[in-house]
Amino acid sequence: MILDGEVVVVTGVGAGLGARLARRAVDEGASVVMAARSDRVTADLEESLDGRAVAVACDVRDADACARVAATAVERFGKVTGLVNSAYAHPSFDDLIDTPPELLQKALDVILHGSLNMTRAVAPHMKEAGGGSIVNVGTMATRKPMRSEAAYAVAKAAMSCATRYLALELGAHGIRVNTAAMGWLDGPGVRVYLQVTAQQRGVSEQEVYDEIASRNPLGRIPTDEACAGAILMLLSRYSSEVTGAMLDVNGGEFLPL
């Protein structure tokens, strides 16, 4: 088990990637604190994970709420050694020039400032534990611009830049900070997209799926479950010498130089 003995905070735990991360982290030996605005998913997860996970209500825009999450981890499990910043907001599907400023600000507040709030909350505990690993969940849209993703991608790009600075600043304390840049994720959100797009175009959901899947060498849309593994690897000791990096997790749809 690659996370044996670790205590990991996961933000933005919902029906998709966050829930997969929490469950798989427990399977890999970690104890997990699940931070989410809603308890619809986390309550069931907490019950099913047999005392290895605890849910805490948290809006990451609230620094005090983030501090409570970190405190709960220490009170319940004795330390904090891992953090996955996966909470996000996608408040607009407009082009950037047409995005209302307040919606761009909302994306920045959740994605950039929310991840910084949680990082500030856990960093002292990681220093006390002798180190830790932080993974910021990024997006391929920062590297391969796509229409309708502007406000979301700009906020994620700011978070990715913060990753590198935090890696530089926290490395002396044994804290690694990396970004896992996700592409399409075959989970609840994409399944809704497939359904809506198929209805609008008068085609089957499989046709829409195949069109998206054909863009990458692996010929499929990566699943939430599979992509969670890449994040867990960055959390683990197998990545002990990796910090300030961006790992592309998109089935090869974007192939960096």
pLDDT of residue 50: 75
Kindly report which listed range (43-52, 75-84, 193-202) carries the lowest average pLDDT score: 43-52
Query: What pTM did the predictor assign?
Result: 0.94
Angle (deg, nearest 10), helices 114-129 and 63-77? 30
Q: Are 83 and 8 in contact (CB under 8 A)?
A: yes
In a domain, 205, yes or no: no
CATH number for the domain spanning 159: value is 3.40.50.720
Rounded CA gap, 91 and 103, in Å? 6
| Confidence band, pLDDT 50/70/90 cuts, at residue 235 | very high
3-state SS class at 98: helix
Mean of the per-residue pLDDT values of the chain: 94
- In 63-155, where do the E strands start and end? 82-85, 132-139
Residue 154 domain-assigned (yes or no):
yes
For residues 114 and 130, the answer to whether their CB atoms sit within 8 Å is no
Residue range 99-123: mean pLDDT, rounded: 97
Domain ranges, residue 178: 7-185+222-249
Segment 103-118 mean pLDDT: 98
Average pLDDT over residues 157-177: 98
Cα separation of 118 and 70, whole Å? 8
Q: Mean of the pLDDT values across residues 191-205?
A: 93
Amino acid present at 204: S
Q: How many domains does the chain have?
A: 1
**Annotated catalytic residue, options 152, 165, 209, 238:** 152
Residue at 166 is within a domain: yes
Residue 213 lies in a domain: no
Mean pLDDT on 45-72: 90
Q: Is 152 assigned a catalytic role?
A: yes
Does position 45 have pLDDT exceeding 80, yes or no? no
- pLDDT score for 42: 67
Token code pair at residue 152? 């979301």
Domain-embedded: residue 257: no
pLDDT value, residue 51: 80
Average pLDDT in the 111-135 region? 98
The answer to whether residue 114 sits within a structural domain is yes
Confidence check: pLDDT of 48 > 80: no
Q: Degrees (nearest 5) of the Cα angle 2, 4, 9?
A: 95
pLDDT at 14: 83
**Burial of 241 by CB count in 10 Å (0-12 exposed, 13-18 middle, 19+ buried)?**
exposed
Could you tell me if residue 118 is inside a domain?
Answer: yes
